[in-house]
Amino acid sequence: MFRILISKLFKQAMFVIIALVLGSAFLNNANTKAYALSYKNFVKTVNKYRQEGSPNANVTIIEYSDFQCPWCGKFEEKDLPYVIKNYVKTGKIFIEFRDFPLTMIHPYAFKAAEYADCAALQGKYLKVRSLLYRYQSDWSVVGDLYYFLKTHAKGIVNVDKIESCVKSLQVKRLIKSNMAAGIRLKVSGTPTFFIYRGLILYKKIVGYRPYPQLNKILKKAVN
């Protein structure tokens, strides 16, 4: 009788353990699939929010950048606002942002790109991008992007949903695809700008250019 009781208790305990394990696996799987988009739709959604301006503009700028790159940060903070005000908001230029983390020298750049791109699923890529550059020195030391966004992006994005997205393979695949495209285009550093008139490459700019210099190039491009 005692053996039968022990056997029943053992079976019940095993049932509880299995149920807990399966339940945990289900929750983790559901969390991982929080953004269960096909890769094609994932890319389409992210790219939609990694751009500014009218797609019908005659001139397009594609910028390859690295979130830990100090020159990219300087351009973002000091010069991009003038480009947006004078060219993007006026319908003259359409700008797209692409990831090109220089992982050999910037250990957290890839991770930062993941968080920014995942924020695009909430329509907040540009806001998170701006925060990452503005407070670049804060998160670049230890690379705790989750805590950084919990602190600086409170009320802007759902950080837990971003964290779920970051754990997926889709965002990593997209960033690596951007990097591969940049390598094919001979991107050797950041920032790198490709300025197109229609489908024709007008000029490639490698490295930081202060706005007065960049403005002269853009004026010629749009005229």
In angstroms, the CA 209 to CA 164 distance is 37
The domain 39-222 having CATH identifier 3.40.30.10: the answer here is yes
In angstroms, the CA 43 to CA 181 distance is 14
Give the pTM.
0.83
pLDDT digits (tens, 9 = 90+) for 14-35: 443 333 334 444 334 434 444 5
Domain ranges of the chain: 2-27, 39-222
Token pair of 121 as six digits: 């699923």
Of 110, 148, 108, 142, the residue nearest 128 (C-alpha):
148
pLDDT digits (tens, 9 = 90+) for 112-154: 999 999 999 999 999 999 999 999 999 999 999 999 999 999 8
